[in-house]
Chain A
C-alpha cells in the first residue's frame, strides 16, 4: 500500500494550521489549572462536526498532546498541576523554579515531552495492531496487581517510611469516600450528595499542591521572609540533557506501555516513571530537591501516553484513557468506527492520524521552547500579588471542572491537609498516588474475586498478575535491604 498521499495530505497548509492552532490551544488549556485536556477535546468536538475528518481529528489530537504537555508549565512555575498528569512534575519542577532555574526546568520538560511523544508515535505508527492486543490481556486481576505495584512507589518515594505509609494509607481511606464501586452504596459522604461520587480528583490535587503552597507562602509573607524568585537560564545544559537521556527513554517506554493499557492514563505513568528513575539512579536522594532527571522522567512518560493511548483506540476501538474516550466520540461523529476495520476501510484516516500525531508533537516542541521566555515572566510578578492570583486560579479552576460548589470545599479541605502534611514532613505525593491507585486497586480486587469465586489462588495466578506482584514485592524489599546493608556497613565502619 502506498501511504505517501495520505501522509502528504497532512502537510496541506490548512491541516498544518489547524494542528498548530489545536496544539497551541491545548498548551494554554493544559497550563490553566482546572482546564484539562479532556475538557478541551470535549468542548471542541462540536466544532469538528463540519470539518473534514483529517482536519477535525488532528485538531483534537493537537489539543490532546498540547494539553498534556501544558500541564507542566503551571506545575513547575506555580506548584499547581495544570492537569493531573503533571502532579509528579511538581516534585522536582517547583524546587528548580525556587532556585531560579524555572527556564531550565521548563526546557527539560519540553524536550522530555517531545522525546516521549515521538517515541510513542513511532511505536504507534509501527506496531499499533500488534501491540493493541496487550490491552485485552488486562482483566480485573491484572489491574489490581498493576495498582499494587504502583502503590509500592510510596515506599521508595518517602524519606521516612513510616510517614510515607501513613500518608499513603490516608490517601487510600480518602479514596474510599463516595459510591462503593460494587454495591453502589454511598460511603463516608455524611449525607452530602456532592460527595456521592467521591472527592473530585482535580480539585483535590489543586488543593493538595497549589493551595497548600499558598498557605506556606502567606506564612512567609506574614513573617517577612519572602524571597523574590530569580529567573535565569532558559536552556538545560548539555550535561543536564546527557544525564537525563536514559531516564527520558525509559520514561517513554513506560509511558507507551501504560498508555496501551486502557483505563490507566498519564497520571499513573508519570508516577511509575518517576519512581523507576529514582530507583535506578545513583543519587536517589537528589530527587525531590530540583533534580533534572525527575522532570525528564515524568514528562516523557505522560506525553508518551498520548500517542500510546491511541493504539488500542484505533486498532481495537477501545479508548486507553478518558481523553481518548472523548476522542472516540469525535471519530464516531465523523461516521468512523475505530477498530481493525478502520485500518482496511479508511487507511487515509489512520495514516493521517499517525502523521498528525508526529506533527502535533513537533509543534508542541516549537511552541514550548518559544514560550518558555513568556511563561517564566510570571515569576517576575511580586510574590504577594502572584500568591493572590494563584488563590483566584485555585478557586476558579476547581469550580470550573464540574461547576459544583462542593468541589471548592474539597479543594480548600485538601489545601489545609496539604499544608499541614508539608509542615510536618508527610509526603503529599504519597497521598496523591494513593488517591489515584487506591480506588483502582479496590474495585479491581473485588471484581477479580467475584470473577474467581473468591478463590485468591485463581485470582493471583495469571502470568501478568504474578509478574506485577513479584515486582511489587521487590520494590518494597530492595529499599529495606539497602538501608539494612547501609546500616551494617556503617556499623562495620565504626
Chain B
C-alpha cells in the first residue's frame, strides 16, 4: 500500500514537473526521454537507436523512447527535433543526410547551426563495388576504364542526392573522372541490380556489400576511408592511388540548441558510456554497424566538414538550392 502511494506521489511530482517546468535541470531526467528517429521503423538508423535506448537504461534513471517520424528524406523528423523545447526530453538521431546535405538543396526550415551535437554513434562506411559482368574488377581497373570511357560507367546508389550518390560524385570529382550515377529506390535495390549485372558498380555500406561479396555476387574494389578497414583488409583506399577523398555517412545523437549545461553534461556522459558498452558494441557489430564514438565537439567538426564538402559537390551537380521556395 505504501509503495503505491509513493508511486502515485512520484507520478504526481513528475506531472507537476511536466506542466510547470519546475523540476530543475539538476534533477534531470525526471521523466522518459523521447528520441526522434527521422526514418521509418526497421532501418539501420532506427535499429541502432533502439539498441542504444535498450543499453542506456543502465546509465540513465529514466527510459528512452524511440519515436519514428519519417518523411522528406529525414528532414521532417530532424526539423521537429530541432524545433522542440531544449529541455533534454526531446532528442533525436542526427544523420548526415538531413543535417549536412538537405539544407543545401533548400526547402528545409533548419540549418546545421541550429544543432546541439551530443555524441557521434557510428558511421556507415562507403564501399565501391564492381558488379557482375563489369568491365573492371579492381580499383586500378575501374580508374583506367572510367578515364577511357568518360560518363559510361553506370554506378548505382541509394537515391538521388543521398549520401551514396554524393560519395560517388565526390570520388569522381577528386579523381578527375566522370561516371553515370544511377539513383535507385534504396541501397538494397541498387545492390540487387548490381548482383544481377544490370549496372557496372554500386556504392553501399560494408554490411550491404559483404554478404554479396562472400557469395561472389560482386567485388568490393575501393573503401572511401583514409585507411584500410578491418573487415575488408585487401580492399584499397583512395589515397593509395593519390586521390584525396574520404567519405562516410554517420549518425549520432542531437538536441535543439540551448540545452541547460547540466542536462548536456548528464546526457553526454550517459551516451559516452552507452557507446562504449560491451553489449552495445557486440550487438551493433552483429548488425553490421560500424560504431565510432566521438564527443559532441568532434561530432560537430565532422558534420561541418562534410557539410562543406557536400555543398561543393551539390553545387557542381547543379542541385544547390533546387528545392528553395
A262 touches B54 (CB 8 A): no
A-B contact pairs, 16 of them (CB 8 A): A41-B42, A136-B196, A137-B196, A139-B193, A140-B198, A182-B183, A197-B72, A263-B189, A317-B211, A319-B188, A332-B287, A335-B286, A337-B211, A339-B212, A339-B215, A447-B184
CB distance from A346 to the nearest CB of B (A): 13
Identity of the chain A residue whose Cβ is nearest the Cβ of B162 in the assembled complex: A184
Task: Please tell me the number of chain B residues within 8 Å of chain A, measured between CB atoms.
Answer: 59
Cβ of B160 within 8 Å of any chain A Cβ, yes or no, is yes
When A179-B73, A184-B183 are in contact, do A329 and B44 touch as well, CB less than 8 Å?
yes
Interface check B70, CB cutoff 8 A: yes
Nearest B-chain residue to A336, judged by Cβ = B286
A17: interface (CB < 8 Å): no
* Given A46-B50, A137-B196, A191-B184 contact (CB < 8 Å): no
B 39-74 to A, binary, CB cutoff 8 A, 1 in contact else 0? 011111011001100100000000000011111110
Considering the chains assembled together, what is the distance between the CA atoms of A197 and B154 in angstroms? 25
B173 located at the interface, meaning its Cβ lies under 8 Å from any Cβ of chain A in the complex: no
Across-interface contacts of A316 in B (CB, < 8 A): 195, 215, 217
Q: Are B188 and A404 in contact (CB under 8 A)?
A: no
The reply on B236 being an interface residue by CB < 8 A is: no
* Complex-state Cα separation, A326 to B323, whole angstroms: 31
Residues of B within 8 A of A41 (CB): 42
CA distance A445 to B69 in the complex (A): 30
User: Is B76 an interface residue, CB under 8 A from the partner?
Assistant: yes
Give residues 115-150 of A contacting B (CB, 8 Å): 135-140
Q: Which of A42, A193, A316, A333 has the most CB of B within 10 A?
A: A193
Task: Spell out B's residues near A (CB within 8 Å).
Answer: 40-44, 46-47, 50-51, 54, 67-73, 75-76, 79, 105, 107-109, 154, 159-162, 180, 182-185, 188-189, 191-193, 195-199, 207, 210-212, 214-215, 217, 283, 286-288, 319, 322-323, 325
Q: Are A403 and B68 in contact (CB under 8 A)?
A: yes
Contact partner of A196 (CB less than 8 A), chosen from B40, B71, B198, is B71
Min C-beta distance of B170 to chain A, whole Å: 16
Contacts of A404 in B (CB 8 A): 69, 71, 76
CB distance from B218 to the nearest CB of A (A): 11
Residue pair B72, A196 in contact (C-beta under 8 Å): yes
Q: Give A236-272 interface residues, CB cut-off 8 Å to B.
A: 262-263
B42 and A191 within 8 A (CB): no
- Distance, CA A49 to CA B286, complexed state (A): 11
Contact code string A322-358 (vs B, CB < 8 Å = 1, else 0): 0001100100111101111100000000000000000
Bound Cα distance from A179 to B43, whole angstroms: 20
- A196 contacts B283, CB within 8 Å? no
Interface residues of A in 32-50 (CB under 8 A from B): 38-39, 41-43, 45-46, 49
Using known A-B contacts A42-B46, A43-B41, A451-B182, determine if residue A180 contacts B189 with beta carbons closer than 8 Å.
no
A191-B325, A325-B42, A450-B182 known; A197 vs B319 contact (CB < 8 Å): no
Contact partners of A303 in chain B: CB under 8 A: none
